[in-house]
Amino acid sequence: MDKKFLDKINTAIDKALEDFQSNPDFIFENELERLKYQYSQPKELKNWKKKQKCIVDGCDKKSIEKSHTIQKSGSIKELAENDHILTPNFNNKTGEMEMLSVGVNIASTFPGYCLEHESLFSEFENQKDFKTGEHMGLQLYRTVCREIVINEYQKNSLEDLQKRYIKTVAICPIIFSSLI
């Protein structure tokens, strides 16, 4: 990975942190809203892990379905019991946090990279350790990419919901006028 690319990642992360530090409330109204957003598993997200275009700029190949954000053979396996780990989830019915059990094969996965770009992480995954600063940079890059993919999916889902709402609102006067 070249220095120019790593500098670009660092600049983006610095900007996001700067924005947040200048006004931590600009993202969420309160702590409950933050928890709800961060840990909810809405029904719409069940399908978000389908193959899509590789997230690496300029790559038009299809992603694999399950790129691990955290290496399965390292941290996830160490934390697992009976090949499952616990993950936080916000229960919309109770308004409280809970822990859900998920299999190690799907824990921390997302459809991010094609086979070629998935191999960017193979060196430190095979070593089961971060030996260089570049390894840490790649792990940070992979984590940020997962957030980009899931946030893009959520944004698209909300835009679709908004379009359906606007369409329904536009139809309502027609329905009501036909009832009178």
> What pLDDT score was predicted for residue 25?
62
Mean pLDDT in the chain? 77
Asked if the model's pLDDT at residue 178 lies above 60, the reply is: no
Across the strands, what pairs with 155?
none
pTM attached to this predicted model: 0.61
- The DSSP symbol for 72 reads I
| CA pseudo-torsion sign 38, 41, 45, 46 | positive
pLDDT band at 44 (very low <50, low <70, confident <90, very high): very low
Of 63-72, 113-122, 147-156, 165-174, the one with minimum mean pLDDT is 165-174
Residue pLDDT, tens place only, 47-82? 566 778 899 989 999 998 888 888 777 778 788 889
- The DSSP symbol for 64 reads P
More confidently predicted of 73 and 99: 99
| CA pseudo-torsion sign 74, 13, 50, 156 | positive
The DSSP result for 29-83, as a single string, is: SSHHHHHHHHH---GGGGGTTS--B-SSTT--SBPPS-EESS-IIIIIHHH-BTT
Give the residue-averaged pLDDT of 17-31.
Answer: 68
Asked if the model's pLDDT at residue 145 lies above 80, the reply is: yes
User: Is residue 12 classed as helix, strand or coil in its secondary structure?
Assistant: helix
